């Protein structure tokens, strides 16, 4: 709960033998991916004891979803095109208040994602000092960031982890339990 309440990625697990809590000992650092991995490992062969793990992810109210046709939605899903300017992408990240925005082609098919870590990748080697934000596209920015950095955050060579609407919650959790995976995109078959 502390991870979800505070929005941080890791919390310390401490123990103190004294009643006043003085002299705590660090036992472990717990991360969301580590917790998910433990849940997946424990319940993988006994999902009947936790039925929500078998439910299709589309039936569970979590994440941000594209509204169904004809259905009103106060928060439409923000999307980018590969030729969107870097400055527009940065503004949309801030306005939408999210950590990542899907990049889609002309058919709205997912092709990549632009995230805060991509901004960090440009800042790491001061690449941003040599570019004009309004002239560079996010496609070009992603190529620069990938050229300058190792494939941290890649899982099996993919930047975008995907599942289907019909996939069970357990499958989504298994994807999120992998190191470096921060989000899973739900796509149509």
Within its chain, how far is the Cα of 32 from the centroid? Answer: 12
Question: Residue 169 belongs to what H/E stretch?
Answer: helix 169-176
Looking up tokens 């009103």, which residue turns up? 72
Distance (Å) of CA 39 to CA 17, 59, 167, 171, 177? 28, 20, 17, 12, 9
For 1-25, the pLDDT digits (tens) are 888 788 788 899 999 888 887 888 9
Domain 57-187 has CATH 3.10.580.10: yes
- Distance (Å, whole) CA 144 – CA 127: 8
Read off the pLDDT of residues 53-87 as tens digits, 9 standing for 90 and up: 999 998 888 777 666 655 555 556 788 999 999 88
DSSP type of residue 38: H
């Amino acid at each position: 709960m502390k991870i979800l309440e505070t929005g941080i990625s890791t919390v310390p697990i401490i123990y103190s033998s004294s009643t006043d809590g003085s002299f705590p000992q660090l036992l472990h650092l717990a991360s969301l991916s580590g917790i998910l991995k433990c849940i997946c490992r424990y319940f993988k062969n006994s999902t009947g004891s936790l039925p929500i793990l078998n439910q299709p992810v589309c039936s569970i109210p979590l994440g941000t979803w594209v509204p169904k046709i004809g259905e009103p939605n106060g928060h439409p899903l923000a999307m980018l095109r590969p030729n969107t300017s870097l400055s527009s992408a940065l503004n949309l990240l801030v306005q939408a208040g999210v950590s990542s925005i899907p990049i889609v082609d002309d058919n709205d098919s997912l092709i990549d994602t632009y995230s805060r870590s991509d901004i960090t990748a440009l800042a790491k080697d001061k690449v941003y000092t040599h570019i004009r934000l309004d002239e560079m596209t996010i496609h070009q920015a992603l190529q620069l960031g990938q050229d300058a950095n190792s494939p941290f955050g890649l899982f099996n060579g993919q930047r975008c982890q995907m599942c289907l609407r019909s996939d069970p919650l357990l499958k989504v959790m298994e994807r999120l339990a992998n190191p470096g995976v921060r989000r899973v995109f739900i796509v149509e078959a």
